[in-house]
Amino acid sequence: MLVYIYHYYMPHYDLHSHSTHSDGTLTPTELVHLARAAGVDVLALTDHDSTDGIPEAQAAARDVGLQLVAGVEVSVSWGTQTVHVVGLNVDTGESTLQAGLRGQCEFRRQRAEEIARRLEKHGVADAYQGARAQARGAIVGRTHFARFLVEQGHAKNMRQVFKKFLVQGRPGYVPGAWADLAQAVAWIRAAGGQAVIAHPARYKLGSTRLHKLLAEFKACGGAGLEVVSGSHSRDDFFRFAHLTNRFELLASAGSDYHGPEQPWIDLGRLPPLPDGCQPIWRDWSPARPSLRSVAR
């Protein structure tokens, strides 16, 4: 009975999602409508290195009575690794953050040209144009190259195309030259936001390196860790919940939804945070839970 009440009256949070302003396939409006239909009360739009989708998402959220958290997912170079840091509740008009994101997008543009040059040498013609067409005006990322390559028949699906062309050691890979960890956290904090390490299980770090990352992140003002993520297993939930306590971080939850083409990731169908961790929304103004429009 208590579980039943919890499910129906606790607000549902999904604090990591993408739109057509980065590599998602739904517009901010479509994303917000889907979130509402899925019973999400509080949604963060966290496009890669861009907040351009926030105004449209805010407007759609007002229309359907959903709380929209202005967010961004900043790419970070940490040693030879790329780590993603989500910023939540950022002031999108703040100049330090926007200057930082402009730099990231400039690197994305140069990287896209370089990826295309490398693919060209590998016998793939016109990849820059192809990826740009996929991005439809958004800043080009690897996902857009991946969609182009699949469309051209160079690989069967997205998983394979990354493995074959776009990851370290493969022909279309260009090493990241992103912000460093302290910079990314500083931009997010300058914009009044909270910085959260996204999908920590994805980095495949051993415990020594993982602890080093979390200690550095905490020391430079990082606030939270994604405990529940669309790319985490149940074991990961508990492992990272434990680490939030050890490193005095708050716990976040986000699907990392990119669109219906990845049916294994559902918007807003996240399990609750494990007991004992402190939610990142602990100090936010209370969300208004609404009756679920779908059975969970």
Interface with Mn ion includes 256 (CB under 5 A)?
yes
Q: Is 141 in the site for ligand AMP (CB under 6 A)?
A: yes
Task: By CB under 5 A, tell whether 52 contacts Mn ion.
Answer: no
Q: For Mn ion, which is the closer residue by CB, 120 or 133?
A: 133
Report if residue 84 touches Mn ion, rule: CB under 5 A. Answer: yes
143 contributes a contact to ligand AMP by CB under 6 A: yes
Min separation Cβ 197 and Mn ion, Å: 10
Is the CB of residue 87 less than 8 Å from the CB of residue 187? yes
d(CA 159, CA 174): 18
Roughly how many angstroms between the first and final C-alpha of the chain, as a whole number?
14
Strands 42-45 and 67-78: parallel
d(CA 257, CA 280): 19
- Residue with smaller CB distance to ligand AMP, 4 or 264: 264
258 binds ligand AMP (CB under 6 A): yes
* 229 binding partner (options ligand AMP, Mn ion, none; Cβ < 5 to 8 Å by kind): none
How many other CB atoms are found less than 10 A from the CB of residue 187? 26
Residues contacting ligand AMP: total by CB under 6 A: 10
Question: Which tokens is 203 given?
Answer: 């980095």
Give the CA angle between residues 16, 292, 48 to the nearest 5°.
10
Q: Which stretch binds ligand AMP (CB under 6 A): 86-94, 141-149, 225-233, 237-245?
A: 141-149
Among 13, 128, 162, 165, binds ligand AMP (CB under 6 A): 162
Closest by CA position to 147, among listed 23, 239, 41? 23
Least distance (Å) from ligand AMP to the CB of residue 134? 12
Q: Are 112 and 172 in contact (CB under 8 A)?
A: no
Q: Are 218 and 247 in contact (CB under 8 A)?
A: yes
Among 12, 48, 147, 189, binds ligand AMP (CB under 6 A): 48
**Residues 72-91 as x/- pattern, contact with ligand AMP by CB under 6 A:** ---x----------------
- Taking contact as CB under 5 A, which single stretch among the options 20-28, 129-137, 209-217, 282-290 is the one that binds Mn ion? 20-28
159 binds ligand AMP (CB under 6 A): yes
Would you give the DSSP letter of residue 201?
G
Contact partner at residue 36 from Mn ion, ligand AMP, none, CB < 5 to 8 Å by partner kind: none
DSSP class of residue 146 equals: H
- Looking at residues 15 to 44 of the shown chain, list those that interact with ligand AMP (rule: CB under 6 A): 23
Widest CA span in the chain: 62
Among 150, 158, 182, 205, binds ligand AMP (CB under 6 A): 158
From the list Mn ion, ligand AMP, none, pick the one residue 189 interacts with, judged by a Cβ distance below 5 to 8 Å according to partner type. Answer: none
116 binds, among ligand AMP, Mn ion, none (CB under 5 to 8 A by kind): none
The DSSP output letter for 48 is B
d(CA 159, CA 156): 8
Which of 256, 296, 19 lies closest to 139, judged by CA?
A: 19
Smallest distance, ligand AMP to C-beta of residue 30, A: 18
Q: Which of 240, 237, 293 is nearest to 270 (CA)?
A: 237
Applying CB under 6 A, which residues contact ligand AMP? 23, 48, 75, 141-143, 158-159, 162, 258
